[in-house]
Structure 1
């Protein structure tokens, strides 16, 4: 068991959601309308901010659902501090400040895209990660960063074909170099994670364990043993039943990593036509049972429900049905990308009205 004074345990309880507020007019890759899925910035503030014209997602999540943590997936390269975003850059400081004001902790992602670029030998990634670190410490290295609570390096490297655990370790090395260059004291350093899938790769009945063991080996090979010991938090994406997850939290994970804090970075279920759950009520009951069986305790820090919104604008079939909310079909307002921005300067995006699914009540009951 990790010492109660371990700073990583300060993240508990994680009462999270995977937050992806995709506008309804977005389009799937390879030609997404907004060039990526980073909406956590000044360009899209009407989705999450407090403007009277906006939807105010963050306040809703915090005040009405009891959410205190958001798992994000895309984080574009930011501009230099105080500068107007250049081409393909996004300013996340307003989002981080808004999360701080709402008491929401942010999983700041260094996405799979950057790991792919590392794997391909792109030497610009180191400076891009430095820009991200500089933005997170916009108020200065001598203070705790607003909003930001943990660095998330990629997602499910163990299922990827275009990057490896070694690339995850390289990205972390770049992160450490950036922190050192900024002079961030140890008291203000954030923990680090890299979510893995729940696949069973080589150890029967122990999903995710071999992927974490391989990741630990990559840390060791890169000279990051102390980072693993002092700052790493394991995160696992699982969609299994509540009883299975309870046994995993209580028995399976501690058997292999007795001193490692961990959390479920994705947890939920999609609708299953002609199966279970086939209705939104059944889906809500399934998630409620997951949440009931995964209360934070000891080294287990909590959960992130996957996910905030049905991704029906960019996905099809069951992949589009995980959300706690869905588009109502009505648009309450339009926001605009600033004129002159590349790409999409002057274009509008819809601020969609959302309909709460039954799952919202399941989350609220567990988190409030």
Structure 2
């Protein structure tokens, strides 16, 4: 019999974490009479307890604490095994362990002498010990489980200890947890249902106390006790549309703890469209911890074709810029001074901050975004797909422009085909990693260049393309229009003291006033045919429930104080969800609300304003993020779903004044010069009309970076 065959028989695996600023911890356990059969004629059982530091630190077992009478003085195990042999009666005990602060420890408990791992000490175990007596570790015949003293040899003392425990047995087992929706509601057991309330069932150790917590909302889900067969159930557990994460935890009679996290998805039933709130939940956007990702290099100069500018479209979220956002080493197709290039790892850095959503500003369908999205998903994030302000400069009909963005509808259509790349073959799911549409950026702050009806037309195009591609409601993304902190949009007709309320009123009116219009685009069923042939299409008006089922209110407060907007303190205007004097037909308290740009600048060049610094930036960011967390937890902002910090990197070379200092990271400089590599891209992702060289900057954190990490990761 191999030693590895004798590794079962674990009664429990007890865990504990050494508190910060401490050097020891007690690991409690309980000997319950119902769980143990004591040796014949006795009332005590001998246990072997071995402690491990799961973080690799050095530990020492200091002893056993007990309030029970009859516990023998513990015998320390040797050979560096960090454990004890203890003979104890029924009662409560704790193993005292010296270890490094913050380390996680595990104490494994077995019956001393249970060599064959059948949870009992009997004659078979004594025979195994006797047969191995005289052997040492590494020699033939040595059985680790028979070495009760852990001293590397099996001798008469091991046999004596086992004989004293002869007849001991236990029904305790190392905890194994499970959690699922009951089979009647989820017959396929794929954790996806349409029910708004379900019964969650599972198994734990018999008699264990089991608790349930909704990790999505933080709400307690109840407590129960596992039955004689280990089964347990929680009835009427609520599921919101979208993903719902629950954690179940158990504590056995012995005191061992176990936890399991499981995600369940509620999908919309066939019929009525989801509301905007339900849609945000469906795409897991109800607790956004986002970042406005702006990785423009230090030589970024939009619109400068000298040589043909590789940054012409401000789209860095594609394979051409892999070394910027990937953390891979020696990336194929990229060199710097003839050497292989390692990725800067922007996405992995975002993940380390706790970021789960990226707000980006440009998307060029000529670029290949596949690898970027795959890496994004692997790092636990999603992204919006922007229809940028550029769309509004294109003609709706008439003369053809240059490929590929000849007309507005073509521009939207090309991007749509990257969001839903397989719709022609019947796969109507958006590509993994994409969770929201955004139309424009602060159209209410363009001096009248982009009016609400123009925004509404783009929304019509998205819905039209969805209809043509037969995208079901459950696969249609939320749509947002990022708005500024302004109090009006398009003149005095739509204004309100509460920032962006007037803009929402203007959009609401525009969405409801849409009419059919004609637009030129490529043939939807044969979009790759060239030369480009403009086809006149009739784009229908928006459905009457568009605002209620698709619209998400996104506001860009940047450095402004958000406490009043969120109703946390009284200011000169009412909170966003109860604006005074606003259109009463708009359901203000139920519109999904997110901040798309929250954060402060570290630079101030206007002498009329208070000076700014990286420290003042961090302080403002900290307050804004704390106010957002308070609003999400106070029960008064049920549809406030978090937001994105503005922004990932300073925009030093193409913005001036305060606009250049919003990044939570800055360009690294050496002797006042930017530190960077010049990347040569020899990959297949270079567009024919742009340069194949670009700048990969070294970057350095600002104090605000830690503020974001603390807020998002705790």
- Considering the TM-score relative to the shorter chain, is it more than 0.5? yes
Partner Cα separation in structure 1 for residue 415 and residue 358 of structure 2: 18
Unpaired stretches in structure 2, ≥5 consecutive residues? 1-238, 242-277, 330-341, 400-405, 515-540, 580-587, 669-673
Q: Secondary structure at the match of 1:247?
A: coil
Whether 1:73 and 2:73 are equivalent positions in the alignment is: no
CA deviation after TM superposition for structure 1 residue 332, in Å? 4.8
**Alignment counterpart, residue 244 of structure 1, candidates 555, 559, 564:** 564
Question: Between Structure 1 and Structure 2, which shows a larger proportion of strand residues?
Answer: 2
Task: Please give the root-mean-square deviation of Cα atoms over the aligned residues, in Å.
Answer: 2.4
Contact in 1 for aligned 2:566/2:575 (Cα 8 Å): no
Q: Secondary structure at the match of 1:310?
A: coil
CA deviation after TM superposition for structure 1 residue 96, in Å? 1.8
1:343 is matched with 689
1:13 is matched with 287
Q: Residues 17-56 of structure 1: matches in 2 within 5 Å? A: 17-29=291-303, 33=309, 34-52=311-329, 53-56=342-345
Larger RCO, structure (CA 8 Å, separation 6 or more):
1
Runs of 4+ in structure 1 over 4 Å off? 28-32, 118-123, 248-251, 337-340
Return the TM-score normalized by structure 1.
Answer: 0.88
Return the TM-score normalized by structure 2.
Answer: 0.47
Name the larger-Rg structure: 2
Partner Cα separation in structure 2 for residue 185 and residue 11 of structure 1: 19
1:294 is matched with 628
1:154 is matched with 440
Contact in 2 for aligned 1:337/1:344 (Cα 8 Å): no
Contact in 2 for aligned 1:93/1:136 (Cα 8 Å): no
2:192 is matched with none
Distance 1:120-1:156 versus aligned 2 partners, 3 A rule? farther
Distance 1:58-1:105 versus aligned 2 partners, 3 A rule? same
Q: Residues 75-154 of structure 1: matches in 2 within 5 Å? A: 75-76=363-364, 78=365, 89-118=366-395, 124-140=407-423, 141-154=427-440
**Corresponding residue pairs, total:** 353
- After superposition, give the CA deviation of every residue in 1:267-305 in whole Å (9 maximum; x if it has no partner): 112222454451101111101100000124520011111
- After superposition, give the CA deviation of every residue in 1:37-57 in whole Å (9 maximum; x if it has no partner): 111111111111232111111
Whether 1:272 and 2:604 are equivalent positions in the alignment is: yes
CA deviation after TM superposition for structure 1 residue 209, in Å? 0.3
Distance 1:8-1:118 versus aligned 2 partners, 3 A rule? farther
CA deviation after TM superposition for structure 1 residue 115, in Å? 2.1
Partner Cα separation in structure 2 for residue 144 and residue 118 of structure 1: 27
Distance 1:335-1:313 versus aligned 2 partners, 3 A rule? farther
Q: Residues 312-327 of structure 1: matches in 2 within 5 Å? A: 312-327=652-667
**Alignment counterpart, residue 460 of structure 2, candidates 170, 173, 185:** 173
CA deviation after TM superposition for structure 1 residue 181, in Å? 2.2
Partner Cα separation in structure 2 for residue 338 and residue 248 of structure 1: 52
Q: Which moved more, 1:28-37 or 1:203-212?
A: 28-37
Unpaired stretches in structure 1, ≥5 consecutive residues? 79-88
**Alignment counterpart, residue 198 of structure 1, candidates 474, 481, 485:** 485
Contact in 2 for aligned 1:54/1:351 (Cα 8 Å): no
Partner Cα separation in structure 1 for residue 323 and residue 680 of structure 2: 6
Partner Cα separation in structure 2 for residue 30 and residue 215 of structure 1: 34
2:649 is matched with 309
Question: Between Structure 1 and Structure 2, which shows a larger proportion of helix residues?
Answer: 1
**Alignment counterpart, residue 475 of structure 2, candidates 188, 208, 226:** 188
